Amino acid sequence: MIQSVVNFFKLVRILRERGNWKLIRRCRRQLLDFILCGSGLGKKPFFRVVPYWFSLLRGLDMLVWRLETFGFLYLPESGEADRQRLNNYL
C-alpha cells in the first residue's frame, strides 16, 4: 500500500518534468476517459476504477510507458526539437 502512495507522488513529479501539457490541455476528455477507464477495451464500471488504479500504481514503469505511448509524457531523452515536432499537428 505504501508503495502505491510513493509511486503516486513519483508519477506527479514525472508529470511535472516531462508532461506534454499542450496535448493534455487539448485532449482533456481523452485523458479523463483513460483515467476513469471509460472507453475502449479497458472499459470498467466506476466502482472498479479505484482498485484498478491502485494496482496499476504498484508498477509505475508500466503506467509511465502507457502515458508515453499515448503522448501525454515526453520520452526522457527527447530534446526541445523533438517536442516541437511531436506537437506540430495540434
Q: What is the pLDDT of residue 6?
A: 92
Rounded Cα distance, 37 and 73, in Å? 19
pLDDT value of residue 1: 76
Q: What is the pLDDT of residues 30-85, one digit of tens each?
A: 888 888 888 777 788 888 888 888 888 888 998 899 888 888 899 888 888 888 88
pTM here is 0.79
* Per-residue confidence (pLDDT) for residue 66, from 0 to 100: 86
Note the helical H segments in the chain.
2-18, 21-26, 28-36, 49-56, 60-70, 80-86
